[in-house]
Amino acid sequence: MKTTPNETISPDLICELLSDALIGNRAHVSPERAFEGLTWRQSGQLVSESPHTIWQLLKHLNYWQDRLISRIEGMKVLPAKTSDDGWKFDSAPEDEEMYKRELGKLLTGINYMTQTKLPQPDKLCGVKGDYPHGFGVIQAMASHISYHLGEVVLLRRMLGLWPPPSGGYTW
């Protein structure tokens, strides 16, 4: 979004746009819809040629979400030593409880950012770890979630598990 020299974008608008990105408004499927109707067993199914299962994608999302939320909270977060650090997960959950707990963690983190952090834009100013400000952290989180939810939907399509029970786009 380009602005003229005298035009500024309000922090409230930035917060609204970031919230929409986190929850999937206007840009992509919501996290709830991406996982809707998926069983814990299905989340661990292997798809030929795919490097990850849906379960591993969910675990990966939470690994990075935890790190990004820690930055927002002002905690020191050591850099990942290798890109593999965010992928060292079993291919499937042990049981339904484990799956539900991990999915709940993803949704709780997104809710925390949209309901607690974004309504306080003044607290997002200033450096947050290696990000120039909290808005950048939330933008990274939203982009990361969107990217991997696209993979979840693609894997579900390849497994014949899309659209979810409530319907959804098929393109």
* Cα–Cα dist 103/105, whole Å: 5
> Does 167 fall in a domain?
no
Q: What is the CATH number of the domain that holds 96?
A: 1.20.120.450
> Does 5 fall in a domain?
no
Q: Tell me the residue range of the domain where 51 lies.
A: 11-158
Structurally, how many domains does the chain consist of? 1
CA atoms within 13 A on the CB side of 53: 19
Q: What is the pLDDT of residue 105?
A: 98
24-41 pLDDT tens trace: 887 788 999 999 999 999
| Predicted model pTM | 0.92
Q: If you count them, how many residues does the chain have?
A: 171
Q: What is the torsion angle, in degrees rounded to the nearest 10, for the CA atoms of residue 25, residue 29, residue 31 and residue 33?
A: 120
Q: What is the pLDDT of residue 26?
A: 79
pLDDT at 68 over 60: yes
> Does 86 fall in a domain?
yes
Kindly state the average pLDDT of the residues 116-137: 91
The dihedral through the CA atoms of 52, 54, 59, 62 has a sign that is: positive
Q: What is the pLDDT of residue 2?
A: 57
> Does 72 fall in a domain?
yes
Higher-pLDDT residue of 171, 168: 168
